[in-house]
Structure 1
């Protein structure tokens, strides 16, 4: 049996992460018993005080144990914790030595969504791949440059440390853990029961690229705005450097530091975001969209689009244009 400690933080935490983890693992226990097997997960809610109330005042949870009452655990689950990060750390600082101590003793640790920030603050993610909600990936990189953020991933698994992408993708991590602990059959049954898309690996096609502008490099901001206004034209690094009176190497270095993208990557992302928006409208062919964003080589366009979104242009259009459900209902009516 695997002892699972679900962390109940102080502050504004994700009740969905907590309840979802408890419900899915409990379902697995019930299914195993129905097959004549013993339950696998021993679940406990672990907090710093009893009871624990969300700072929103909407919910109150009664942890079964305080951290000092947990003698040993096999898996620690950290939910998303919202709010000012420094305040989150201060309010929940006592969890950190407990998490580190148990990890060093052999416990595994899973963070869900932006719970990755809290896990990274322990130092355990230094030098390791991790994922979080794509919207907070750049903020994470700035706070924890020693960790290896992969914002396109739904799940990471590194030396007993697990992280998941944003929002409800935590369910994909739970299914991954179920398969790792109990095998494919149980994972498939759980995925089917909760209608979770098993084996989903990427959150790339959910990402909205708005450009990283939370910096104070005025020349780079001007370059970003120029790219976003003229993305349909051919833009080179040399032209930008000359336009803003900056050496090429200096521009490339400063651009990367400010935006976490090279100049070429930024141009590509701006073009692909415009292409995504047009494909979502469903009014133009893929070739028309390709020309609109400044590409003439269909192979190059498809390659860059798939690299950034994880889908081909046609797959993306079919997924996000007029919904399949709506089309079906229109056909049936």
Structure 2
């Protein structure tokens, strides 16, 4: 039997804890219905007997505290509930226990922004990880030594797993079910929890964040100029001259402040505008393309798919209200 420890950090969000518990216990029920023995022994584990969640809205009683549990097979780390930096500082004992369990042979999986707690252990240095796209900039600032791949729904490297944002945590849990319990149990779980087994990218769900939480004023001016003039052809040389900064210096500072090159940022602003048109109206895709500053259909299609993972017509079919009603 596999021992699954769902850790309960101070400041955790309730959703991932209950979903993870439900997935593994539901698989046990499925296996019993097939005449097999249950596979998972699931426990809620914390540094304290009682832990407050969702800023005190809930209190959860743990099944075990970390100093009592010396060995487990799989550690599940749920998302933290806001105030990530403060909550990391409050969970030092849990962080040390997670690291110790991995060194003893356990596998470790983070759900959504539980990736911050996983990264705090030091186990992600030089490894790939994903998290909620909205937290990506903060994660990169706090853990630059981790290879963040925010476009991914799941990462799997050396017994360490992570999931993207929101309910994509179920994709990772079903992925782990398949690894431990087999394909039939995974298919059952996917059907029971109504999750797409094949979804591998967060790209269609990402909303572009303007990335202005920095103190470089000329870079903010460059961002605002791009956002106000994205329909036009913007030359980096001309923008640098307007700001009275050398091009190389501006490009270096822009990349440091926003995690994008200037050309990437220009493209993201254009595509975000195109996404809004595709979500809200029924105008022709070529008209939208021209409106956001593209003149070549192939370039627009390729750029759109690079950013969103979908072609423009696929994005419209998925997210346009009128199309959804057809």
SS at match of 1:45: strand
Q: How many Å separate the matches in 2 of 1:19 and 1:324?
A: 34
Gap change, CA 1:18 and 1:55, over 3 Å in 2: closer
- Tell me what 1:141 maps to: 140
- Tell me what 1:157 maps to: 156
Q: How many Å separate the matches in 1 of 2:13 and 2:134?
A: 17
Q: How many Å separate the matches in 2 of 1:135 and 1:171?
A: 18
- Tell me what 2:165 maps to: 166
Does structure 2 retain, via aligned residues, the 8 Å contact 1:10–1:55? no
- Tell me what 1:67 maps to: 66
- Tell me what 1:9 maps to: 9
Within-5 A mapping of 1:1-333: 1-11=1-11, 13-54=12-53, 56-322=55-321, 326-327=325-326
Does structure 1 retain, via aligned residues, the 8 Å contact 2:211–2:258? yes
Q: TM-score, normalised by structure 2?
A: 0.97
Residues 20-57 of structure 1, C-alpha deviations (whole Å, 9 max, x = no match): 00101111111111111111111011011112222633
Q: How many Å separate the matches in 2 of 1:91 and 1:143?
A: 16
Gap change, CA 1:213 and 1:326, over 3 Å in 2: same
Post-superposition offset of 1:162: 0.7
Matched residue pairs, number? 326
Q: Which moved more, 1:64-73 or 1:78-87?
A: 78-87
Q: How many Å separate the matches in 1 of 2:63 and 2:322?
A: 44
Q: Which moved more, 1:51-60 or 1:196-205?
A: 51-60
Q: How many Å separate the matches in 2 of 1:25 and 1:2?
A: 10
Q: Which moved more, 1:281-290 or 1:222-231?
A: 281-290
Post-superposition offset of 1:90: 2.6
Q: How many Å separate the matches in 1 of 2:42 and 2:56?
A: 25
Does structure 1 retain, via aligned residues, the 8 Å contact 2:134–2:209? no
Post-superposition offset of 1:87: 2.2
Post-superposition offset of 1:252: 1.1
Q: How many Å separate the matches in 2 of 1:261 and 1:162?
A: 26
Q: TM-score, normalised by structure 1?
A: 0.95
Q: Which moved more, 1:249-258 or 1:315-324?
A: 315-324
Root-mean-square deviation (CA, aligned residues, Å) is: 1.2
Q: How many Å separate the matches in 1 of 2:137 and 2:9?
A: 24
Structure 1 regions of 5+ residues with no counterpart?
A: 328-333
Does structure 1 retain, via aligned residues, the 8 Å contact 2:110–2:162? yes
Q: Which moved more, 1:269-278 or 1:46-55?
A: 46-55
